[in-house]
Amino acid sequence: MKRHLSTARFAIALPILFLLADQVNAHEAWLLTPTEIEELSKAPPPPLFRSQLWLGLAAALGFGMTLVALRIEPIIALIEDRLIVPIWKTYGDIGPLVLRFGLAAMLLLGSFGGLPRHGIDAWTTPTFMVPDMQLINVVGAEVLIVSQATLGILLIAGLFTRVCGLALVGFSLAGPILFGPAFWSYTPHFAAPGLILVALGAGRWSCDDLLNVDAGDRIVAPVRQVLWRVSHMLIGAGFIYLGLVYKLMQPTLLIAILEHGNMPTFGLPMPLIALIMTGVEILCGALLVTGRLVRPVALAILGAITFLAVVLGETPLFHANLYGALIVVLLAGRSVPIARGITPSLNARTV
Amino acid sequence: MLRNLLSRISIAPCIIAMLLSTLVIAAPIVNAKGRPPRAVFLVLPDAVAPPTVNLRAEAIGDGRYRLHLDTEAFMFTEICVPEADAVPIGHAHVHVNGEKVASAYFPVVDIGPFAPGLHLVDVVLRGQDHRPIIGRDGLVQGRIKIAVPREPA
């Protein structure tokens, strides 16, 4: 009974997200004013990003720090185990719940135009998964809107969740076909949550559990493990791609956005801050791809996107897919347990 | 001995080292070109005649104004696409005092009402994917000041 009350409470809380929609700001270039756009059009990439010497030194420093972190990984793992034990057993319920509601909020708000691109009035233009992808003059827009909204509702209900996960992977792959190469920036970060849902299912607080319709038991444990690892690799690959294409190769854009948000510089030059952010993003992505230091990396990225959202005045809803996926990764770690009831340290040995 | 050495080398540092090395070589080559960020701007090829835009504003009453966008070498269209070709076709974004107030899909757009005082209107020509167009001479934009009298015209 208690369980059902919790589900009902979460369902009631969801409409509150819609009230936040008017405060929503899309990010990146859409935030910039005409004067900032004009300055950006003339700004050359800073020398730091054009010098192989400086970039080489920065890369060597970053690599050295990564090696040190990898060296002390077993110590960090022990601390992780100690900290995570009190909540570890519930990760399979809390994680998917956060992920489902985060994804559902993005999908439902997008369907009704509640997550608009900056400069567009709320509730006027439906979008596909993210604010930048407006469903205007797109073939089959009506079908996409209905499918997206249906997927959102099913995710809230936690009904056929693993199938919804597969549908989400399908959506993320359809994006580049519908919207062109620009959508590749988003594909990994929606495909990964989809795979996580396929691997974990909806958790306890869901209709799947209530009605006992989860087909998860039929997915053999090694397949679940593969899906889990692939989801980490996708999240990591997504960060490497974003760091490379949008930050390392277009540093003036990142600098303009940071200056627009009056990012605190702590006395450091802005190009150096941009380079540090770029390096951290790429290294975190690489560590996720290789499956190392997974929990610390998830925590670091969660902290970074939260900090940026606060600085830029963005709504957390804009990165709800990442928040959900990273919280699950943070709770579960590198390997998804084969069965409930085993301790984290035992679990670590199953990898 | 080689097997022993290989067994001691972890795959993760090797991958990260290769990734960083590639980036250190590639990034300066790309950035040396000094082009504006592709994610933001639509840069027209040098062979294409650079578009221009000049603004005229006429009062239409109640503090509202009709803005005329006199363009050359540019074609307006209502059609937007996710990724536009580098051609001078698209629309314009109209900003007043730094805030976006309208998208102009035709060379005439009504804006306002404005409070009495001086208002700065900026118009930037955009491609079909909303990216600001950059021609040979830089950003294609127009600017006009509108002085709204105490008694609306």
**pLDDT for res A23:** 37
Residue A246 burial (10 A CB sphere; 0-12, 13-18, 19+): buried
> Whole-angstrom Cα distance, residue A158 to residue A11?
11
Backbone angles phi, psi at A155, to 5 degrees: -65, -40
**pLDDT for res A265:** 86
Model confidence at A321: pLDDT above 70 = yes
Identify the band that residue A24 occupies on the pLDDT scale cut at 50, 70 and 90: very low
On whether any CB of chain B is under 8 Å from the CB of A258, the answer is no
**pLDDT for res B6:** 58
> Whole-angstrom Cα distance, residue A38 to residue A17?
35
CA nearest A199: which of A234, A239, A233, A230? Answer: A230
> Whole-angstrom Cα distance, residue A158 to residue B133?
45
- A199-238: per-residue pLDDT in tens? 989 988 899 989 988 877 677 778 888 999 999 999 999 9
Alpha-carbon separation of residue A61 from A54, A90, A198, A267, A288 (angstroms): 11, 38, 38, 20, 19
Cβ pairs bridging A and B (under 8 Å): 121
Alpha-carbon separation of residue A76 from A103, A295, B98 (angstroms): 31, 9, 49
Q: What percent of chain A has pLDDT over 90?
A: 55
Task: Tell me which residues of chain A, numbers 112 to 141, contact chain B at a CB-CB cutoff of 8 Å.
Answer: 119, 133-134, 136-138
Of B12, B37, B124, the CB nearest to A34: B124
- Check: CB of residue A327 under 8 Å from CB of residue A312: no
The secondary structure of A306-323 as a DSSP string is HHHHHHHT--GGGGHHHH
On whether any CB of chain B is under 8 Å from the CB of A5, the answer is no
Of A40, A59, A136, the CB nearest to B20: A59
**pLDDT for res A262:** 85
Of B28, B83, B139, the CB nearest to A50: B28
- Check: CB of residue B54 under 8 Å from CB of residue B39: no
**pLDDT for res B1:** 62
Tallying the residues shown for chain A, one arrives at: 351
Q: Please answer yes or no on whether A137 and B81 come within 8 Å at the CB atom.
A: yes
Identify the band that residue A181 occupies on the pLDDT scale cut at 50, 70 and 90: confident
Identify the band that residue A6 occupies on the pLDDT scale cut at 50, 70 and 90: very low
On whether any CB of chain A is under 8 Å from the CB of B147, the answer is no
**pLDDT for res A338:** 46
On whether any CB of chain B is under 8 Å from the CB of A33, the answer is yes
On whether any CB of chain A is under 8 Å from the CB of B82, the answer is yes
Q: Please answer yes or no on whether B82 and A182 come within 8 Å at the CB atom.
A: yes
Q: Which residue of B has its CA nearest to A289?
A: B12
**pLDDT for res A18:** 40
Model confidence at A174: pLDDT above 90 = yes
Q: Please answer yes or no on whether B37 and A252 come within 8 Å at the CB atom.
A: yes
**∠ CA(A246), CA(A134), CA(B124), 5° rounding?**
70
Q: Please answer yes or no on whether A292 and B79 come within 8 Å at the CB atom.
A: no
Please list, in sequence order, all residues whose beta carbon lies within 8 angstroms of the beta carbon of residue A33, skipping any fewer than 6 positions away.
Answer: A260, B95, B98
The residue with greater pLDDT, A248 or B10, is A248
Q: Please answer yes or no on whether A283 and B12 come within 8 Å at the CB atom.
A: no
The secondary structure of chain A in percent helix, strand, coil, rounded to multiples of 5, reads 75, 0, 25
> Whole-angstrom Cα distance, residue A175 to residue B42?
21
Return the amino acid letter for B105. Y
Identify the band that residue A14 occupies on the pLDDT scale cut at 50, 70 and 90: very low
Which range is least confidently modeled, A57-61, A134-138, A319-323, B97-101?
A134-138
Buried b (16+ CB within 10 A) or exposed e, B94-124: bbbeeebbbbbeeeebebbebeeeebebbbb
Q: Please give the mean pLDDT across all residues of chain A.
A: 84
Decide if the complex's ipTM is over 0.85: no
Backbone angles phi, psi at B89, to 5 degrees: -130, 135
* DSSP at A219: S
- B49-60: per-residue pLDDT in tens? 999 999 999 999
Model confidence at B72: pLDDT above 80 = yes
Average pLDDT of span A32-43: 87
Of B12, B81, B95, the CB nearest to A290: B12
At B38, list the tokens: 């592709």
Backbone angles phi, psi at A63, to 5 degrees: -65, -40
**pLDDT for res A138:** 83
- B97-135: per-residue pLDDT in tens? 988 899 999 999 999 899 999 999 999 999 998 899 999
Of A119, A138, A283, the CB nearest to B100: A119
**pLDDT for res A277:** 94
Output the pTM of the full model: 0.84
Average pLDDT of span A95-117: 91
Model confidence at A346: pLDDT above 60 = no
- Max mean pLDDT among A103-117, A159-173, A215-229 falls in A159-173
- Check: CB of residue B35 under 8 Å from CB of residue A42: no
Q: Which residue of B has its CA nearest to A28?
A: B40
